[in-house]
A and B are shown apart, each in its own frame.
Chain A
Amino acid sequence: MTKRKLVIALAGNANVGKSVIFNYLTGLHQHIGNWPGKTVERAEGTLHFKGYTIDIVDLPGIYSLSTYSLEELVSRKYIAVERPDVVINVIDASVLERNLFFTLQLIELEAPMIIALNQMDIAKKKGIEIDTEKLEKLLEIPVIPTVAIKGIGIFRLLEKAVEIIEKGRMAKHVEVKYGEEVEERIAKITKMIGEIQFWYPPRYVAVKLLEDDEEIAREVNRIDPQIASTAKKLANEIENLHGHSCSTVITSERYEAAGRITREAQKLVSPIKPPIEERIHTLTTHKIIGYPIMAFSLLLMFYSIFTFGDYASELLNNFFYGWEPLFASLFGTGIVGKLVWGGIIEGVLAGVTIALPYIVPFYLILYFLENSGYLSRIAFLMDNAMHKIGLHGKAFIPVMLGYGCNVPACLGCRIMETERERLLAAFVTTLVPCAARTVIILGLVGRFIGIQWALMLYVLDLLIIFALGRLAFRTLPGEPTALIMEMHDYRLPHLKTVLKQTWFRVAEFIKIAFPLIIVGSLAIKFAEVLGLLEPIAIVLSPVTVIWLGLPVIIGIALIFGVLRKELALIMLATLLGTTNFAQVLTPVQMVVFTLVAMFYIPCIATIAALVREFGWKKALFITVFEIVFAISLGGVALRVLALTA
């Protein structure tokens, strides 16, 4: 009986065009979720081919199968435990040696595999010629040359994958050979492992034990401490022989093997044309010119997003609110009508008028920049600045995202390597004034007091981010990691891939943010209908009136602001009965209100994102901390401003 359902995994380094291949193969039949219990993304898709239903699993882009990051651990376990029918190892032909280093590790995992030798066009441009047949022979693995962004070779890749599976499990491919003194010891451990049950192949376990792999050492130690201690002893022997740690020796020898294969299979000729990518790289990472280019690009990006967003958001609002009279005539203006319109529909509208006009263009531009390679240059330029708050250059990307919306920013913190840095980066991004907070800053302080005051608030915000970021960095246990990041060659992004990535991100945003926005909006509407808002405002008055010196009614505005920050301003206008805030608020009150609104809580959608990424406890902690902080800050600001006024 033929097996009609197949599983193919895509594995490879980051930026090798894996996601382009994934998109070619699966189209829109994709599902993006998380690996169980991990904040590592799992992308899956299905396709039908030659009567098979094929499940494609896109593993995260990684450089090794060690335990440096969660991504590596997840990938390794997946391949060893869930055993996909075949692994397609996507490699970048223009950086063959480093990619083969990863290939050799897949081989050690004894996964049935084929190779997609991608970016053949870029390699050619750089003057690198690869003899695929020779490579195939050296690795004893089928190699299919591809140019994924043009769709070249994808069909053959799929054909080959199915062919390999139909032929049954492949004969064992080439073995990675280490030096004699290492091999001897590998053999000893392999023999011992062979006698116990383990989900990784015995030889692989032996090698990893010698490499001092945390996960495997722990597991082996649980089963048979004897093996673990023997391995440790043998590793020490190798260390003494070589004068380097055993893990260094093994990694070096594996790289040497990759280097040998590379030298045999690849020929270097002079590049076809002077690469313009190289010149763009030099300019965009330039000590001096690099920064204005970055500032200009980012300003342009935000300017166009906000201009477009404003316009589109108003259009959408007008369109939707045009239906309100019709709705009222259907459901009436009684309690039910109010709840349904004010609670559910307005909640949805709030989401839609943020998601579509702002989030969509935001992600589009972001993915365009990422796939082109520019984001890694920005991280290079900003590394030093981010170190001041204990993060490295990559963290600038979620922080930058935060200026648009904190929700994608929190999710974007996944690019950080350790759990600690993810949390730290997420905390910092919740302090970044997002688009909604910008509306308050500019709409209240900027308009009624003066633009220089609005700018001062931005500067103050940067200082606070710096101070709190540093504080969090000092208090959180653990150590900072430094930047190690590849800057791949600039290239034109693949439009369809960018569009799909955007689409899935927006869908994710909707999934996370909408339920809570609707529930929250319903709850507040409920309180309003029941006449609970004013009593709540009075309960809050010791804080709002006495400590912050604001009108009682502002408590209600702040409650609405939890849904989305700019609602605080809109509600303020409604409650005070005027949009000319100068008539009802003193300049000091405006500044205090804005300060509180900027910091007092991440909005409900951001809280949802925090919960999803870090769990209830940490999300709650950040929320409570920021409420207390904002209120303290507002009160202090009131007193300081009163002194100077």
Chain B
Amino acid sequence: MESRSSKELEVPLTALRDGETGILTSIKAGPGRGRGKGWGFEKRLMDMGLTPGTRVTVVKSAPFHGPLEILVRGSRLSLGRGMAERIFVEIEKE
């Protein structure tokens, strides 16, 4: 599942600096093991409002590679880092 947007601009959510906003392009999940993957993971993210095209703002992240605090559709979520690494966004240009 490749997104059509230009590759250079597409970065994982974890690459955003505190306060930066990106437009969600894709969630790279799929079958397999490992942290952040697992059952229904993609569906769950989307149910919480993280669908392609959505604006996601990273507020901050907890220290020592902790979870991210993000704003999406008017709600504040905390998101495990392993998951955030699989969410790809295009950084919004001012």
Contacts and interface: CB of A to CB of B under 8 A. Distances in A.
Interface of A: 63-64, 66-68, 94-98, 101, 211, 243-245, 247-248, 251-252, 255, 259, 285, 287-288, 290, 376, 379-381, 383-384, 387, 392-393, 418, 479-489
B1 A244 contact: yes
B75 A66 contact: no
A482 B38 contact: yes
A285 B40 contact: no
Contact of B76 (A63, A245, A392, A487): A487
Contacts, number: 144
A96 B53 CA distance: 18
A95 B73 CA distance: 8
Contacts of B38: 479-482
Contact of A95 (B46, B51, B74): B74
27 contacts: A66-B40, A68-B40, A98-B49, A98-B74, A101-B49, A211-B43, A243-B1, A248-B46, A251-B51, A252-B53, A255-B49, A255-B73, A259-B73, A285-B62, A285-B69, A287-B60, A376-B78, A380-B67, A381-B62, A393-B78, A482-B79, A482-B80, A482-B82, A483-B83, A485-B78, A487-B78, A489-B76
Interface string B3-16: 11000000000000
B39 A479 contact: yes
B82 to A, nearest CB: 5
Considering residues B4, B53, B62, B69, which has the most beta carbons from chain A within 10 angstroms of its beta carbon?
B62
B80 A252 contact: no
Nearest to A291: B63
A96 B49 CA distance: 12
B89 to A, nearest CB: 15
A576 to B, nearest CB: 47
B7 to A, nearest CB: 15
A251 B75 contact: no
Nearest to B66: A384
B65 A482 contact: no
A328 to B, nearest CB: 58
Given A66-B47, A248-B51, A479-B39, A383 B66 contact: yes
- Chain B binding site: helix, strand, loop or mixed by DSSP? loop
A298 B73 CA distance: 32
B78 A380 contact: yes
Contacts of B90: none
Nearest to B64: A384
B49 A243 contact: no
B77 A384 contact: no
B35 A383 contact: no
A66 to B, nearest CB: 6
A479 B33 contact: yes
B93 interface: no
Nearest to A251: B46
Contacts of B64: 384
A592 to B, nearest CB: 36
A376 B62 CA distance: 13
Contacts of A101: 47, 49
Nearest to B49: A98
B74 A96 contact: yes
B77 A484 contact: yes
B31 to A, nearest CB: 10
B78 to A, nearest CB: 4
B42 A482 contact: no
A94 B44 contact: no
Contact of B80 (A63, A243, A290, A383): A383
Contact of B52 (A252, A288, A483): A252
B5 to A, nearest CB: 11
Nearest to B4: A243
Contacts of A245: 1, 42
B52 A379 contact: no
Contacts of B4: 243
A566 B51 CA distance: 53
A393 B67 contact: yes
B76 A486 contact: yes
A68 B53 CA distance: 22
Given A244-B26, A376-B78, A482 B36 contact: yes
Given A483-B67, A484-B44, A255 B83 contact: no
Given A255-B49, A285-B62, A482 B41 contact: yes
Contacts of A287: 60, 62-63
A594 B18 CA distance: 47
Contact of B78 (A64, A66, A290, A383): A383
Nearest to B67: A383
Report, nearest first, the 7 A-B pairs whose CB atoms are least far apart: A482-B80, A64-B47, A483-B80, A252-B51, A479-B38, A384-B66, A251-B46
Contact of B47 (A95, A251, A259, A481): A251
Contacts of B63: 287-288, 384
A243 B4 CA distance: 8
Nearest to B3: A243
Given A393-B67, A479-B33, A482-B35, A97 B40 contact: no
B1 A63 contact: no
Contacts of A211: 43
A54 to B, nearest CB: 30
